[in-house]
Amino acid sequence: MVSLFKSIAAMLALGLGSLLSRLPLRLQRSCAAAVGAAAYRVAGRRRRIAQTNLRICFPEWSETQRTEVAKLFFKQFSIALFDLFWLWREPQEEIIRRVRVSGLEHLQAADSSRLGPVIVLAPHFLGIDAGGTRLQIDRMLVCLYSNQSIPAMDRWMLEGRNRFANAILISRREGIGRLARILRDGTTAHFSSDMDFGRNGAVFAPFFGEPAATPTSLVRLARMAKATVVPMVTRLTPEGYEARFYPGWRYDEADEQDLATCVTDLNQKIEGWIREDPSQYLWTHRRFKTRPPGLSSVYS
């Protein structure tokens, strides 16, 4: 009965979102922001997770400042969620107009170096799907995705993320073996490495000074495929989104740096991008869920 109720609620939400996305962008986003403001008040568990994360990552802020950023995050999260309806429906020309690309020379430099394939590192900023969709217009991508528990949502997200039939989507349940083979053949990978999936395949590395279980898969994948890692951070703008590329780097297979050092450096890079606009990072993810031995949960 519960699963049936969730499926019906999901289908109603999808219908509402589709209708809302027909409005002019400014009006649509105003409505979505109102939904996000309401969600901040009623989604107690997610609000507490966001507040805890902000308290850990920005201890120098006042409680008032953290609350304001959390409220803004919920509004922007809702905007990004409702934006998916036009993002996965509008023609290519409209996507190109609304999702502006900057720093493209960094991706072009990796392509022209001919040193190996490219991994586009996409941390979990709120525009991650907008950036991935925009990139998919220009090139074939291979990506991992997390299965949704509600079938209607799972179908919608899979169809949306492959709307241009220019992406190879692989469930995380399959692992990264197939992705690695496709990457070695030269297909660009769209990859994230900033979520807590447990101790398996992870090391504890500081993230804003707090130990966080950080996957080592990006480093291992880049070394194995001899790939260049090029970061892409996608943020909301009043007109749509900006997908910004940053200078890339490589992990030499003979590099003496161990995995912990590499992922610590990666976390520091992500911290820097977050500090550019803290409200646009995914604060409702339990980034510090897995704890080192002897440390208690920060979310209890």
- 178-219: pLDDT as tens digits: 999 999 999 999 999 999 999 999 999 999 999 999 999 999
What's the pLDDT score for residue 1? 45
200 membership: H or E segment, kind and range: none
The model's pLDDT over 72-99, given as tens digits with 9 standing for 90+, comes to: 999 999 999 999 999 999 999 999 999 9
Domain boundaries along the sequence of the chain:
2-280
By CB neighbour count within 10 A (0-12 exposed, 13-18 middle, 19+ buried), where does 59 fall?
exposed
Q: Distance between CA atoms of 297 and 299, rounded to whole angstroms? A: 5
Alpha helix ranges (H) inside the chain: 2-20, 25-42, 44-57, 63-87, 92-98, 104-113, 128-138, 151-161, 177-184, 217-225, 259-276
CB count, 10 Å around CB of 50?
Answer: 25
Any idea which residue has 């009043």 for tokens? 238
CB count, 10 Å around CB of 229?
Answer: 23
b (16+ CB within 10 A) / e for 7-40: eeebeeeeeebeebbeeeeeebbeebbebbeebb
The model's pLDDT over 262-295, given as tens digits with 9 standing for 90+, comes to: 999 999 999 999 999 999 999 999 999 999 999 9
The model's pLDDT over 12-25, given as tens digits with 9 standing for 90+, comes to: 677 777 787 788 99
Q: Region 138-147: what's the mean pLDDT? A: 91
161: which residues sit within 8 A by CB, 6+ positions away? 88, 129, 132, 133, 143, 145, 167, 169
Q: What tokens appear for 204 in the block?
A: 């504890």
The CA distances from residue 225 to 119, 173, 187, 251, in Å, are 10, 21, 11, 10
What's the pLDDT score for residue 173? 87
Single-letter amino acid code for the residue at 239: E
Of residues 23 and 130, which shows the higher confidence score?
A: 130
Q: Distance between CA atoms of 188 and 273, rounded to whole angstroms? A: 22
The model's pLDDT over 36-53, given as tens digits with 9 standing for 90+, comes to: 999 999 999 999 999 999
CB half-sphere exposure, 152, CA atoms < 13 A: 13
Q: What is the 3-state secondary structure (H, E, C) of 183-228?
A: HHCCCEEEECCCCCCCCCCEEEEEECCEEEEEECHHHHHHHHHCCE
